[in-house]
Chain A
């Protein structure tokens, strides 16, 4: 029963989260672009666009790797679902708050690289292929900080379970206890969902890269899968750094959802205000600055944990 409730809550959270992320993005585009701000109309836009894509045929390229092309969006969506499944919205309300939750999340997110590379490789076309290779370089750069700051967050909880990490923040959020953690994790999430300044495999300089050759339902599934990764990343940020379900007055799940939405709003804002970072500079910054900072984060968290130990 508990598991069924968790599955339903996770599916609902994913569906609503993806739609709200798309709607927030459309709204931010209107605000930043000084377009006509018709809120109702803008909120309906993702549904209209999605239906429009469903009514259009799929494009065919010359000699594509058809199996890989069909697999890529499904793999990306599946990995995002696995990631979200490890995050409880309230005590016990998750699909699988396993004892090694952050390891499961990290393992699923490491395979995002394979899904995006397949999407770039499969259409047998130049720009998507460059995009696929670009993402491999990008993923190798953000994955280390992603994993390291999660380890840092696990130290005060003395557990790898996401639920236990949330529980350890009852009095003090990790965002404050480990000030380096959340900014590094947010950069990694933007890289993971190839979003905003790190939308390198979807860049305008590659005419959309991984989505340059897709149309119709295939385009819709790819866009939805990418937003699913973004939502999973935002939900993990809320759980691991912003205290998850902890908060006054409101019930626990409401806090989890509100915090996730706040992180999504921050990521959407970044997309409309920050220019794309070139891949060479991102790789450089990542290895020279971000990874050492993530290591420092782990050392500081470890020292704090030792100090606090009885």
Chain B
């Protein structure tokens, strides 16, 4: 197989597999945070900021994958 095609395939695989797990993780964070907010609405604001921070940290895994995909595609 051509090296160029292989690179594209690798980048696609990195993004596909690499965004799967963070998606599941973010879903868990959101569901638990919403559950907590509905049970205790006064904690809502605090939970919301914490939820956003936790989600951003989880999302960074997908972002690392994105950076690796960029390196595969554009940096020779």
User: Is this pair of chains taken from one and the same complex?
Assistant: no
Which A residues fall within an 8 A CB radius of B?
Answer: none
Which B residues fall within an 8 A CB radius of A?
Answer: none
